[in-house]
Chains A and B, each alone.
Chain A
Amino acid sequence: MGKVTGFLEYQRLQEASEAPQLRKKHYKEFVVHLSDADAKVQGARCMDCGIPFCNNGCPVNNIIPDWNDLVYRGAYREALDVLHSTNNFPEFTGRICPAPCEAACTLGINSDPVGIKSIEHFIIDKGWENGWVVPQVQTVKTGKKVAVVGSGPAGMAAAQQLARAGHDVTVFEKNDRVGGLLRYGIPDFKMEKSHIDRRVEQMKAEGVTFRNGVFVGKDFPPNVYNWAKETIFPDQLKKDFDAVVITGGAEQPRDLPVPGRELKGVHFAMEFLPLQNKVNAGDKVKDQIMATGKHVVVIGGGDTGSDCVGTSNRHGAASVIQFELLPMPPEQENKPLVWPYWPTKLRTSSSHEEGCERDWAVATKRLEGKNGKVEKLIAARVEWKDGKMVEVPNSEFELKADLVLLAMGFVSPVQQVLDAFGVEKDVRGNAKASTDGEGCYKTSVDKVFAAGDMRRGQSLVVWAIREGRQCARAVDEYLMGSTVLPR
């Protein structure tokens, strides 16, 4: 265990970051991982609890106390081994995970939780810097072929695990690059895409085949980005492979059915964000949606909304305002009744620090514009009573709006894909499969497994990794009769 009394002696340290005014000028990551000395001190704060709630709070069940201790003792390589034993891609989660582990940290009951995410970030960066992250090639091949449809974090995790179990894995990705929402949904300033590329290289070395630009299904809705050049029917896949894992995410965005929605300048976040990432990657993009000089209204108070804010500011927006339908949450949650669970509280993201007005309990009533182009937004204040939303009388107001970005979350996976596979769906339109017991992660269709957002609906990257790993185990067991892959 770190230091017995470390939690009494040391303070939590935030990772350093570039000043907002400076970082707004570029699209690079601006958070600096801890120094060796700081990491040691942060590790020393861990109390090595008899019940590490973090271990439970973390969706991939990272064995946090163990690597905290190893970092405290300077055993970085061992720390990396422990970290990798539960998490295929700590460089993703170490950057963009909201860290439910920290919400569950015991020290957080009456003090600042251990900076778990910063330590994870430190460990994995240390690993890459020192060349410790190398392909783990399975020499004993099973001769079984598995297709993974969708290369987001769930698909990547499943593919890597399956390859390490000795299967021949092919990953199908409809877009031109691997990574799914990680690649095109997360702005580079939060996570640079070289991290994905490095992993792809590792996975290729481990025997995973990637087929980009290939859409698996029949047809596809227009408002979801799709740059596929080729289409394969699911039946073909089922014929060619011993098992198919569908990890296509939950890409169907929630729309705003108000008058004026059809105006130009009103876009889903996922029409806006990917283009910037492509540009950063060196692609030529025609008609990129730009916020430069515009009055931007972001509708939706979540992380995607934040990403829109950060990107708009980098474009040089004239103003950015972000709405949320729900009332402003409290600054501090009622810990005795919430800990160790994820609290609803006011969260200020790094993008907010870069400049943005935020408003809560606001409902958009309509959009108005000229020449088919949006110019203003009319909204009203709402109140919530017994879970029901009521408009506050006479509270209507209007705002200048040249660009309206809809970031209200995702409704479900793309139904057309699930329908093409013919899998049974749950009430929310997700692929139906359990996560425990016999036949877990298996859909109603033989050979076909589902994981990640496609199975659970929109969620966190860390949940996607968990599902990918667990699904791989289920597939391995399905193919081989038994498995040693960890859940």
Chain B
Amino acid sequence: MSYFEDASLVYIPSAVKNAKTYSIKPTDGSGDLTFSRASNATRVNSSGLVEKVRTNEFIYSEDYSTTHGWFPSTIGGSTVDFTSNYGIAPNGTTTADRIELHINGQAYADYVRPTASFVVGVEYTYSIYLKSLSGTPTFEFFNDGAIGVNKTITTDWARYSYTFTATSNTAYPRFLVLASTSPDVDVLAWGGQIERGVMTDYIATTSAAVSVGPVSGLPRLDYSGGATCPSLKLEPQRSNLVTFSESFDNAAWSKNGISITANNAVSPDGYTNADLITADGTITEHYILQGQSASVKTISVFAKMGSQRYLQILTGGSAAALANYDLQTGAVGGLGAATTASMVDYGNGWWRLILTSTDALTNNIYFCFASSLSAGRFEAFSSTGTLWLWGAMAENGASYATSYIPTLSSAVTRVADAASKSGIASLIGQSEGTLYWEGYRVNSANFGTALVIDDTTTTNRIYILTTIDGFRIDVTSGGTSSAFYTAIFSEGTHKIAVAYNSSAVDIYIDGVSVYNDTSVTIPACSRLVLGNWSGNTQESRTSQAILFKTRLSNADLATLTTL
């Protein structure tokens, strides 16, 4: 038999668009899932990189005309000439604008567009492609509100950038030439970008800022763990309470016995924005810390070994929340009484260090150098060691770490994901059928949803839920459960099939028959739900979901679910 041909609905994460993730069968769209998540998020992309939402806040990035807020600011007889779409831009289109500044014996000539959207204390990068049409002039190409930044422009296209920490909410992309620094200026300009953090790939804009990546409403096809095929990542609502999660040089982080070199190495997101942490060589505790609330339960940070091998995560006021991490081998040790700890390999020497504690964590969280895997709290020792950090996170009320949530000057909340398809009674076996789910189960303190069919209420349903330590499967019709199975299964990938008809329900997990019940009432169902059913929102990663309108044979169930 062909499972694909026999199936009524086959969902394999492969293509998405805003608010939708496509099923590969049926092909008429009637089985495509409706998706929702009312916030940005991150994912691990097919290159194994942590993909964040990136935003170009520079509107009309390829048009510097006065129509869009640019204006000449001249003095006396100095002049500015502007020609739209004068030259060939770096992308091969004739969209580069020509800007000419003529001093004419005066002090300066200026072409400027003030921008007021900067958050004080936050790191930004302004960038623009420039090419001189005459000589190699030096002019001010940006003013961060306090400091004017000069660049010398060559006769070849190049992308010029300036990274700064905002000291006011106003800054000025500009072309300002002073009589004292340069002769007249004649340049082509194209592709302006203002973004938070370091410079990333160019994003074109028109009348509004443009964001790319896992933006609000876009399903996440996730490749965590080096997967070659993606899974649909569905997570609960979580908040990252750490501020400046990638900027350990910021004053939001207190330091002791260490120094910070910002943006020193390529981080797990593929850009040069990881901070180098260097111990100062004295005999002391070497750490950074940030104050947090007592409700924080899971702490995580990405770390990479330089010459410092061991890092400790701990909290203030409690000996129970403590773990040491070996950045060379991926081992954890020295765990506190109420702590679980793990390390996840993100490649290129990067690990995500995770600490979860059932203790009532208090106040500060610390990332502290340690001399061994068994080091105690706040070890004082001499070190000149180095390591890199990126992407710190503190999640409140959380029994496991979820996908990274970047923050700047405030805490940020990612909203829960949900995917479902209503009105598909014709694709669901009403008197007999088979449900198949393949995905990754995460240990958590609450229930999560792997796959559910229902009638949009909880009265009629067949569900496959993830529990604190395994799976729970239930068949309920008219509010009365007629088949119920629950058992412990490890965190990891599993395959589950639930086959039903009027005479029996059979459940197979990972190739093994685990349940048979010959007294069952089949509910009438019309909706398929993956993740976030009836408040059961813990993480699920679905790599396949298949519905059959026939009850597959036990042999087929075994074959289908064998790992």
Partners in one complex: no
